[in-house]
Each structure stands twice: as C-alpha cells, then as structure tokens.
Amino acid sequence: MSTVEKPKGGLEDVVATSSRICFLDGDRGVLAYCGHDIHDLARNATFEETCYLLWHGRLPNRAELGDLQTQLAVARPLPEPILRLMKMLPPSDGMDALRTLTSALGHYDPDAHDNSAPASYRKAVRLTGQIASLVATWGRMQEGGGPIAPDPVLGHAANFLYMLFGRRPNPTEIRAMDIALTLHADHELNASTFAARVAAATLTDMHSAIVAGIGTLKGPLHGGANAEVMKMLIEIGQDAPAERIDALVKGKFARKEKISGFGHRVYNTEDPRATHLRRMSKELGQKAGNTRWFEMSERIEALVKGEKKLFPNVDFYSASTYYTMGIAIDLYTPIFAVSRVSGWTAHVLEQLANNRLIRPRADYTGPAYPQTWIPLDQR
C-alpha cells in the first residue's frame, strides 16, 4: 500500500538532484566536467586544473592555478600524529587504512570546528593534498620504506609518485598519473559521491562526508575492479600463449562469470575514460620495454566485445597502466580515492551551498496494514 512511485532497482536512472559539476551521456559515451569534454581534459589538463574546474565551475587562469598549487603544496605534509598512527595500524587493506587515517585527519585540521563555506573549501583543498600523501606513504611503508616528505616544487601527480617510490618519476609516468587522476576525478552521482552528498546534507563536517565516500568506494561493486583485472592477468601469466588467454576467458563465459573491467551502469558504448587509459597502458609498456600486459588486455577486450558486446570501462586498462608503473595492486582502489576526493569535495560544497536534507521514501513491501495484535501468551 505504498504511496510513492515504485523505484527501479538500484535507483537506476532516478534523478536525485541537480548539479553543475558533471554531465554524462551514456548512449554517446560523453563525460564532461562543468561542460569540458573529458577528452580535452585528458589531453591538456593537469589534475590541479581539473580540481579547480570542479570546485569553481571554470578553468583557472595562471595566477589562480599558481595559488592552488601553493595551497596543495602547503597541505601535503602529514601531521606527525597521523604518521605515528599509520605505523600503529595492523596490516590491512589499503582502503581500511585510508578510511581510518582520513577520519583521524579531522582531529588535526585547523578548521575542524568551522563548517562555514570558506572553511569547507579550505578543507576540500587540504583533504585533496593529504589523501594523496596518505596513500603514497601507506604504500611505501607496506613495502618496508620510510615516509618521504613531499617536494613543494613537484606537481600533484609527480609528488604522489615521488612519495610512493622514493625517486623522481619520469615524464611519461607523471603524465600517465596526471591523466589517470583527471579521468577518475568525478562521475556524477556514483555510489560514493551520492553517499558523500547524503552525509553532507545532514550538515556534518567535510571529513565525515569524505569518510562516507571512502567507505562506499571500498565496496567491490564500486571500487576495486581494476585490482581484480590485474589479478586475472597475473593468473593467466605474462608469458601465456594466445590459446591460454582465449581458453580462460571463454571458460569464464561458459561458467557465466563476470569479467572485471567490462560494462557500466551508465555507458552503452565505450567508456570515454578507457580510451585514454588504453593508450597510456601501451605507451608505458613501450617505455618499459614490456608491452605484454597491454597486449593481453587488448586480446581480452577483443574477446569480450566479440562475444558479449561489452566495452571496457575505466578500470580495465588502468590495471595494466598502474602495474607497469610498479604500483602495488593493493593501492589501486586507494588511488581511485586520491583522484575522486576532488569530485567528492566538489559535490559536498555544492550540496552545502543549497542544502536540503536528503530523505527519500521506500516502497513498502511488508505485511498488509493493519495487522491484528495477538497477546503474547497466544502466539
């Protein structure tokens, strides 16, 4: 006896809010941030320019970009108590650590008790700088290395790789990371962004809203597909002949198993982000003198498109891109957060600017009303 319209499963195609931030057209394969096509941004923008675009609705001029670069440089060093906490955490999934450490950052933020619009913007910038440092430092420590202080001269992508590897990244690596961060920065009302907006709508603080996003991204139906792609490639084996690749993929088809990295809730054609990650996977492989992971991915793509008519999504080629760069698989989803924090914070700021508590209705499917009360000794 519901009084509300029955929703589609998973709220598919249900419009939940208005937003100026991200435009999607799944039939045409269009993704745009504030009207700027993702292909233009991937070819030309740095991640810092992308952040400014998401937060302000327009691209920065040179002075504005310089100011943001300075603000991010100031934000990147982690408070000493956070580094101590990082060392105290038990071995765990990178997303578990990121969730805990991001929450802890809220205790040390100079604007912790100020939820005004200017303070929330400062926290957005600060969190974008700090989450990159958290993930890079965590990844380095998991490999037995010590924390490396960020270099204020380096940009965001270069600093992340420098803090992770302990060496200066080459230009191809920097560009690949810049592109990956730009491509993952926002994607309209995906699950984690919606979670962050729901949290923000209660007028909670920025850190709490971002932790809601991180916790949602951790779920395997949202983040983590690129890690599963790389595990599949490793299972096949770098030196596997074409016949083994074909047999494994066709075996998955026969068992009706999902192949990670293909299909998307929104896109009915190629995910435009996959276009650039495919190219970067190839370029990085050529630079490293090993294009095998790319070639395997390309063969799997052809099999899946031919048999299932499914296109690769953003996760498929990001797997071989990151692996060729030497990034540990456990960091793939946290790196997603390193980028998506820019979109999460943009949506939180937008929500707070014209806030109304997000409180949808449910289609009731329980026992008919009214039920007859039965005394306890008669049940």
User: What are the angstrom distances between the C-alpha of 286 and each of 92, 176, 291?
Assistant: 34, 13, 6
Catalytic residue among 187, 207, 315, 347: 315
Catalytic residue among 156, 184, 207, 264: 264
Task: Confirm whether 264 is a catalytic residue.
Answer: yes
User: What are the angstrom distances between the C-alpha of 356 and each of 187, 198, 199, 200?
Assistant: 22, 10, 11, 10
Q: What is the dihedral of CA 25, 22, 272, 324, to 10 degrees?
A: -160
Which secondary structure element, helix H or strand E, spans residue 229, and what is its range? helix 225-236
Q: Nearest-CA neighbor of 156 among 196, 186, 127?
A: 127
For 237-331, where are the alpha helices, taking DSSP H only?
Answer: 242-254, 272-288, 292-308, 314-324
Rounded to an integer, what distance in angstroms lies between the CA atom of residue 112 and that of residue 366? 43
Q: CA 289 from chain center: how many Å? A: 29
| Residue matched to tokens 């992770």 | 164
Assigned token pair, 46: 């740095």
CB 280 within 8 A of CB 193: no
Helix/strand/coil for 45:
coil
Rounded to an integer, what distance in angstroms lies between the CA atom of residue 41 and that of residue 38? 5
Helix/strand/coil for 36:
strand
Measured between its terminal Cα atoms, the distance across the chain in Å is 26
Catalytic residues: 264, 315
